[in-house]
Chains A and B, each alone.
Chain A
Amino acid sequence: SQTIHQWPATLVQPVGSPLSLECTVEGTSNPNLYWYRQAAGRGLQLLFYSVGIGQISSEVPQNLSASRPQDRQFILSSKKLLLSDSGFYLCAWSISHIGETQYFGPGTRLLVL
């Protein structure tokens, strides 16, 4: 069966520091991968999605970037964190076609001080 992992679970970082959040999927090949930010009372906002290695689409302009160095690995990064980057970040995967059911990881809670 498929599983999705995210780490770290919680992260506290100072403003201006770099960021790297990792997401890996097991038990499937060539998944679509997604990064979302969840804000209280505002649902989930899609940040990035990827349909293959090295293929990244950005949904909103922001201080963050994403990379997919391997088929089942998706990384969310920043060179210099802002206070406004604080939030709950979720990774998800789906099979081939966008629009199929997405399966979510446990999330990373990021607090920027």
Chain B
Amino acid sequence: AQSVSQHNHHVILSEAASLELGCNYSYGGTVNLFWYVQYPGQHLQLLLKYFSGDPLVKGIKGFEAEFIKSKFSFNLRKPSVQWSDTAEYFCAVSFMEYGNKLVFGAGTILRVKS
């Protein structure tokens, strides 16, 4: 079955530290890739997405992600985190041969210490 793995469930960083959250998926066919973020008390919202083109995607609030097809990965990065980045981050993948429905990773809770 198609699956999405996020490597860390909890990450704690100090402000200004660099962030990289790992995401791998199980399937080698055509995919669309997403990162969603859920800030405390807020809706789940889209951070960035990749459908095609440049594999380095830039999203809101200084986040970016790189699609590496050979590694089945779509890692999320930010060079310098802020306290306001404290949230839960979800990687999601839609697999074309799975009817393009979204499959979510388990999520990574990021806590940024001020």
Contacts and interface: CB of A to CB of B under 8 A. Distances in A.
Interface residues on B, range: 20 to 34
Given A43-B107, A46-B103, A107-B43, 9 more contacts: A41-B107, A42-B106, A44-B90, A98-B100, A99-B101, A100-B32, A103-B46, A104-B43, A107-B44
A107 B96 CA distance: 27
B63 interface: no
A97 B100 contact: yes
Q: Which secondary structure dominates chain B's binding surface?
A: strand
A43 B106 contact: yes
Interface in B33-64: 34, 36, 43-46, 49
A43 B99 contact: no
B30 to A, nearest CB: 9
Contacts, number: 48
A46 B9 CA distance: 20
Contact of A101 (B34, B90, B101, B103): B34
